Amino acid sequence: MVIAVNTRLLLKNKLEGIGWFTYETLIRICTKHPEHQFIFIFDRPFSQEFIFNSNIHPVVLGPPARHPFLWYYWFEHQIPRALKRYKADVFVSPDGYISLSTSVPQLSVIHDINFYHNPQGLPFFTSKYLNYFFPRFAHKANRIVTVSHFSKQDIVANFGVMPEKIDVAHNGASDSYKPLSFEEVQSIRRRISEGNPYFIFVGAFNPRKNVARLIHAFDHFKASTSSEIKLVLVGEPMFKTSDIEQALKKSPNRNDIILLGRKGIDELPQIVGAALAMVYPSTFEGFGIPLLEAMNCGIPIAAANTTAIPEVAGDAAIYFDPFSTEEIANAMAVLSTDDLLRQRLSNNAHEQQKRFSWDSTANTLFSSIEKCIG
């Protein structure tokens, strides 16, 4: 079988959620199935580290597809030509984008449809493209994989796709995320937060991540408790982040808010593992990989009570209304003082995280690939 794969999000030192899904599933599938040939289709020069096995043939198709007009050209013109040239039996797209201009069977991984519910949170042309094409992709695809039961139900309800066409493959987390010793925690805190405990948020800075309200909530928490706890934000701005800039500028606790920027797998597991707790106020998630990473570290969580978040975090979190600054602040206050609660959540995290693994994700994805051409 010749399996062509959209690998344009395999970017050296720049793997985000979908990039990690692509990496972790493909490295397992390609090595486990040497009997198949894989055509990795990049939109720019690639790193050799992503050519996991001898059964992978990398192809670069320009131009780099990072704008709606270029997405259209790449998927409707470049991809069909490549599928024909390499005699692909199936096309797999881990970021959901497929081609409407080919008869080759296709599998679309649609992680969530936040763009449908919150179009105003995206750049204009991006929103228009996603809302026009993704319902069509969902109907064109021979199979769909998504990362939570919430997302499956959401796609069925809003795109009119039969549920039998959709397989759920939960995300996993890297084995690098694991509990730290007391000495390790103290060392990392000395380096990051002057030795103080801290709440951590990990994620891209865009409207649905709710970072500005998290900063406001932290201000409320500090005003009501006079705690020495700090807030560590890990991530980088994507778009529409002026509210975050204003919240930081006006915060009376700006010196207690630590912006670390984007961190890679070499540093992030230690930064997460040394946190007092993770606070995750996102208003919409198809999954939420940082939740699983925190659970793997045994870190208690305070999280939004919306979308797929309770499905992922289960009993390892306490929950709040992400639109209520007061509820977020109260959750911080509870976690900062209740040692027994933090220990209970940590114990629950140990059990909850057992439900997720990249091995299971990869097995489900490959099974879906086989269904595409079966």
Residues 107 and 251 placed together within one structural domain of the fold: no
Q: Is residue 287 part of a domain?
A: yes
Residues 362 and 304 placed together within one structural domain of the fold: no
Residues 14 and 162 placed together within one structural domain of the fold: yes
Domain holding 57, by residue range, is 2-172+357-373
Signed CA dihedral, 348, 351, 355, 357: sign only: positive
CATH code of the domain containing 294: 3.40.50.2000
Residue 239 predicted with pLDDT over 80:
no
The letter for the amino acid at 52 is: F
Residue 241 predicted with pLDDT over 80:
no
305-318, pLDDT tens digit by residue?
999 999 999 999 99
- Give the pLDDT band of residue 16 (cuts 50, 70, 90): confident
Residues 168 and 189 placed together within one structural domain of the fold: no
Q: How many domains does the chain have?
A: 2
Residues 187 and 85 placed together within one structural domain of the fold: no
Tell me how far apart the alpha carbons of residues 50 and 71 are, in angstroms, rounded to a whole number: 22
Q: Is residue 31 part of a domain?
A: yes
Residues 274 and 128 placed together within one structural domain of the fold: no
Tell me how far apart the alpha carbons of residues 176 and 289 are, in angstroms, rounded to a whole number: 14
Are 202 and 211 a contacting pair, CB within 8 Å?
Answer: no
Three-state SS at 313: helix
Q: Is residue 104 part of a domain?
A: yes
Residues 309 and 330 placed together within one structural domain of the fold: yes
Residues 132 and 211 placed together within one structural domain of the fold: no
Residues 81 and 147 placed together within one structural domain of the fold: yes
Are 152 and 372 a contacting pair, CB within 8 Å?
Answer: no
Q: Is residue 177 part of a domain?
A: no
Q: Is residue 108 part of a domain?
A: yes
Are 318 and 335 a contacting pair, CB within 8 Å?
Answer: yes
- Give the pLDDT band of residue 17 (cuts 50, 70, 90): confident
How do 90-93 and 2-6 pair as beta strands? parallel
Average pLDDT over residues 158-184: 96
Q: Is residue 293 part of a domain?
A: yes
Residues 190 and 323 placed together within one structural domain of the fold: yes
Residues 6+ apart with CB under 8 A from 314: 348, 352, 355
Residue 226 predicted with pLDDT over 90:
no
* pLDDT mean across residues, the chain: 96
- Give the pLDDT band of residue 78 (cuts 50, 70, 90): very high
The answer to whether the bond into 123 is cis (omega within 30° of 0) is: no
* C-alpha radius of gyration, the chain, whole number: 21
- Token pair recorded at residue 241: 């982040």
- Give the pLDDT band of residue 357 (cuts 50, 70, 90): very high
Residues 289 and 309 placed together within one structural domain of the fold: yes
Q: What is the 3-state secondary structure (H, E, C) of 49-111?
A: HHCCCCCEEEEECCCCCCCHHHHHHHHHHHHHHHHHHCCCCEEEECCCCCCCCCCCCEEEECC
Q: Is residue 129 part of a domain?
A: yes
Average pLDDT over residues 194-223: 95
Q: Is residue 194 part of a domain?
A: yes
Query: What is the pLDDT at residue 264?
Result: 86
Instruction: Identify the residue with better confidence: 5 or 206.
Output: 5
pTM: 0.93
Residues 9 and 29 placed together within one structural domain of the fold: yes
79-135, pLDDT tens digit by residue?
999 999 999 999 999 999 999 999 999 999 999 999 999 998 888 999 999 999 999
**Percentage of the chain with pLDDT > 90?**
91
Tell me how far apart the alpha carbons of residues 299 and 281 are, in angstroms, rounded to a whole number: 16
